[in-house]
Structure 1
Amino acid sequence: MTTSEFAPGLLPLREELLRHGNNHSSSTHAWEALADGIDWHQPTSSACWLASARTVSVVIPARQVGYSLPTALDALDAQHHKHEFEVIVVDDASTDDTAHVAARHRVVDRLVRLPQRMGAATARNVGTALATGQTVLYLDGDMVIPPHVITDVATRATDTSVLVGFRHNLRYEVHSQDPAILGRIPNLAADHRVVWRPPPNTTLPYSGITLPEPLDGRPLDDTHDFIDLGYGQSYYDWDLPRMVVTALVAVPRAAVLDVGGFDPDFGRLGWGMEDTYLGACLIAAGLLVIPLRQAVGFHLDPPDAAEQWQHKLAGWPHTLARYRDLLELPVPRGRTHAFTASMSELLTHCEGRP
């Protein structure tokens, strides 16, 4: 990014984050007052309050997920949402049957295949450029969501909210032998943002702190649903941008376009942090990060999960360094036109079906 791509006179992103709270109580209470007694965190029936539902585009970045994508797409096909929503799969040059699975599944409205491996950030950017919904639900190709999630998102989403879901990891040996996975209920406490037990006497890479004693942490509860993470506050190794995880998160499309989408350099450097940076940009732009405790999906591990995890951790220092560098730059604003032009150019080199 060049200096011209940032609004003049803005503070560095790191300082701008200190100016924004995350007290979303008025938003959630206002929704509950209109929702006829339904709690914010309660699964929403297909008949609930749909007159005000926003349009939703599900964007799935897909790389080597042939083992999980059929189940993830089946779960989308089983959503009880009564309004139409679109599903866009962006295949990041997979060499397995990822593209074939997406091409033949009836729930997929559009499939695009990148010309070469470019990373999840770029794949999500392409999907966002193609999306027509007011709200974009980023969903990983190994996430299986319960049937109420699209309705939960569509009826709660606004122009100023980032709706955060959660994930329950299942080992490959478990889910590959369970044909009834769609009928199971994920456990909210399986997400590290809900129950967190970090190793003691070990430097935590995100914050650099070391905890001398074992900790039975409860980030979601102890921060009152992330409210207490505003104004640059932290919960040990966690802060508000880090709570924005794209395995399952819904954002207003217009806001993503305005900040220029995901920084594609993260995908070239390694794994992770592109969602944290997007979250930081959206928070600095005034959006509130609000959890949906009922929106929990199964994350289906690949057969070589341990090997992949070690590879990801090896690249994390590089992406974390990139994130810290970006914190010292102003918040990107007014980038919709540049973003759209960039994605239009990239799409001329992609394969895909309309």
Structure 2
Amino acid sequence: MKVTVERALLLKSLSHVHRVVERRNTIPILGNVLIRAGKSRLSLKATDLDLEVTETLAAETGTGGAITVPAHMFYDIVRKLPDGSQIVLEGDGDRSVLAIRAGRSRFTLQTLPESDFPDLAAGDMTHSFTLAAADMKRLIDRTQFAISTEETRYYLNGIYLHAAGSAKEATLRAVATDGHRLAQVDLPLPKSAEGMPGVIVPRKTVGEVQRLIEDNEAELKIELSQGKIRFTIGDVVLTSKLIDGTFPDYGRVIPQNNDKELIVDKKDFEAAVDRVSTISSERGRAVKLALSAGKLVLSVTNPDSGSATEELEVEYASDPLDIGFNSRYLLDIAAQIEGEVAVLRLADPGSPTLVQDKDSKGALYVLMPMRV
């Protein structure tokens, strides 16, 4: 195999592909990236057996062939080569090495045979639709923070993507929850997505898709079946296994009858929570919201370090209410509000609170209270 490729192109592709490779692997081949040279094209492929990324780029091919090399070392070498250089990759199957040349630099890397490299066979994809990359990015950005990291409830370790709503107003809905907070975002359902199965996309896959969407103008093709999902954006194809589990009936935790409405300036609220939470302990993180007519008092008391209070003018006309929240969770949700005004619908100190953007439809957040 002999191929010449521009450093900038190779580095960009490797930066997408090498992230999938875990730094510690008990199976040596999983630490490698598969390099395949074809007619004027070079393809790079990496997998961790749950997720597979393939990217194709333009190259000058002398002779074709395929070889695998350590992914992170290969990436570091290309990253440290001079800008604008032409990189020559020359594989010698007999000696099991790949030579990398650029200007006066020369490296050789040990290789493993292509035949050892696993293939994450996708099988037949039953549904396929396209989505603007900006829409997919919004779905991920607004829900990702609520994905659970608790491995015992593995079915919460991803985003639940499914068709929802009525026939008149069908939506593509993304939901994530960790049991303390819930995020739900809706988009109009793409025509060809009707009848799609509800799927749980794993956290690592969600993060990789988010990073791949660099160009918001692009179109994203999504194909899925009961067990796999595939995203195609430009020259990059990402295939992933789905989480094999049942997502809980999240509709039951979304409050319907919260009658106390608090309307607050999002920036002022976010800044005030951030300021008073400076006093809170790592373990506690509780911030108390004391509501009365037209007024919100935020307070934090930490027996070890002191206390903090801040008062805000708000729109609130219901009975006085004291309720506590985890300050970090409150800030996470406030950060998702796209407009200038947040609406909190409350019931009592022990019931979940519904948070929405006053102007933007299609997104809602639920936060469980804390004892304070």
- Structure 1-normalised TM-score? 0.23
Is the strand fraction higher in 1 or 2? 2
Q: Larger relative CO (CA 8 A, sep 6+): 1 or 2? A: 1
Larger helix proportion of the pair: 1
Larger Rg: 2
User: TM-score normalised to the size of structure 2?
Assistant: 0.22
